[in-house]
Amino acid sequence: MNYSISSRMASMQPSAIREILKNTANPDVIPFAAGNPSPDAFPVKEIENITQIIFGSHPVAALQYSVTEGDGHLRRTVQQFACGREPDLMREEDELIIVSGAQQGIDLTAKCLLNEGDVVLCEDPSFVGALNAIRSYNPRLVGIPMESDGMDLLALEQALKTEKNVRMIYVIPNFQNPSGVTMSLEKRRALYRLAKQYGVVILEDNPYGDLRYEGEHIPAIKTLDTEGLVVYCGTFSKIISPGLRVGYVVANRALMPKIIVAKQCSDVHTCILSQMICDQFLTSCNMDAHFSNLQKIYRAKLTLMLDAMEEAFQGRVAYARPQGGLFVWCTLPQGVDMLEFVQAAMAEKVAVVPGTAFLADQSAPCSSFRMNFSTPANQQITDGVEILGRVLHQFIR
């Protein structure tokens, strides 16, 4: 059969990260390319106990169909949890629903708001999974360069002035994937003012907000939202388990019914057993102690990676120390071909992600690559960075 692929999907390529991850299934490959939580970070015992309790008390409910917007008890629990961490996250006119990971929240929001040919502004670089979900609705993606404190707002304002039909600005304000950058409070306020002035929705994606290893918490853009301009996506993937596929969306009640219908078409509802596990975890575990433990694990891994990079790269690779999250964004010296470097590293069994994967325009020149420090074991971090240093020296000589 010669399939005629829809125009929506014809130009879509598999995510570069997923493709690289196929190679990293080989246990000999050092996995700096993934974004998976550390195996040490999973609360295995707690989830085992919780699952037993659920099957002891509500076995049928755990196996039955459920409602699209998410289990009522979990929605209240998550609302309490999210508003406890981000006061003013929700105003009276906002609603919270449960989705199958932030990825679905992004996809459903794009599905509800975008027509073919609309313009979406995003940080450049940005999270490839979100960019691909957005691309599948055939808008034009326009990348706004990143600075050390978030998007270049002059470039953003210029794009808002000159581009027609800008519908959405997609941002990851905390420990951005892939750049590690955190948007300053001043920029969050200014970004919100611009979005309000131009009547454009902000899609705020915050999977890493609770993984802060230094510095002070900065309030979410959604907490500034008096106009229903911000759609906020949260997730338990990085702080409990990505395999559970539980996330949430907070949006104005004028938009939410459409997001719910879109979800109904997509997967009916998020796995109810996962929802019940999350609910029990959030209500029965000491979340502050859990976060302290995660922060301790990741702070140590980040420090290990940065120390190893300092020694191996000897100042030749540029990178900033992220205050949280799971990634370090590295830029090669002029004259080193990034793709050749990534391939040479892969030949030495070290996987990193080429920076082009994260660009709005993937054909644009790029000399950066993304390193993840949560997935590899400590010895792999030390060995892998040393290998990258050796590979780099081959290119510089």
Ligand X SMILES: Cc1ncc(COP(=O)(O)O)c(C=O)c1O
Q: Does 129 bind ligand X (CB under 6 A)?
A: yes
- Contact call for residue 173 and ligand X (CB under 6 A): no
In order of 35, 119, 355, 360, the CA distances from 134 in angstroms are 20, 10, 19, 11
Q: Please choose, from the candidates 336, 315, 332, the residue with its C-alpha nearest in 3D space to the C-alpha of residue 371.
A: 332
Decide if residue 172 touches ligand X (CB under 6 A). Answer: yes
Q: Using the rule CB under 6 A, is 209 a contact of ligand X?
A: no
- Gap between the Cα atoms of 251 and 246, Å rounded: 17
DSSP 324: B
Neighbouring C-beta atoms of residue 226, cutoff 10 Å: 11
- The label of the residue with tokens 């907070």 reads 250
| Residue of minimal Cβ distance to ligand X | 101
Q: How far apart are CA 381 and CA 393, in angstroms?
A: 18
Query: Binder to ligand X among 127, 281, 341, 358 (CB under 6 A)?
Result: 127
Binding of residue 384 to ligand X (CB under 6 A): no
Backbone angle region of 117, left / alpha / beta, with phi > 0 → left and psi within -120 to 50 → alpha: left
Q: What is the DSSP letter of 189?
A: H
**Is 150 near ligand X (CB under 6 A)?**
no
Q: Which is nearer to ligand X, 35 or 354 (CB)?
A: 35
Rounded distance between C-alpha atoms, residue 240 and residue 237, angstroms: 6
* DSSP per-residue codes, 212-249: B-SS-----GGGG-SSS-EEEEEESTTTT-GGG--EEE
Under DSSP, the state recorded for 322 is: -
Applying CB under 6 A, what is the total number of residues that bind ligand X? 15
Neighbours of 24 (CB within 10 A): 22
Cβ nearer to ligand X, comparing 31 with 247: 247
Residue 246 C-beta: closest distance to ligand X, Å = 8
177 contacts ligand X (rule: CB under 6 A): yes
- Report the alpha-carbon distance of residue 354 to residue 17 in Å, rounded: 9
With binding defined as CB under 6 A, does residue 355 bind ligand X? Answer: no
Q: Which stretch binds ligand X (CB under 6 A): 53-61, 101-109, 115-123, 351-359?
A: 101-109
Q: Which of 205, 210, 225, 279 binds ligand X (CB under 6 A)?
A: 205
- What is the nearest approach in angstroms of ligand X to the Cβ of residue 294? 15
111 or 392: CB nearest ligand X: 111
Residue 130 interacts with ligand X (CB under 6 A): yes or no: yes
Q: How far is the CB of 322 from ligand X (least distance, A)?
A: 13
Site for ligand X in 211-270 (CB under 6 A): 235, 237, 242, 247
Q: Which is nearer to ligand X, 110 or 344 (CB)?
A: 110
Q: Residue 376 interacts with ligand X (CB under 6 A)?
A: no
Q: Which is nearer to ligand X, 270 or 313 (CB)?
A: 270
Chain contacts with ligand X (rule: CB under 6 A): 35, 101-103, 127, 129-130, 172, 177, 205, 207, 235, 237, 242, 247
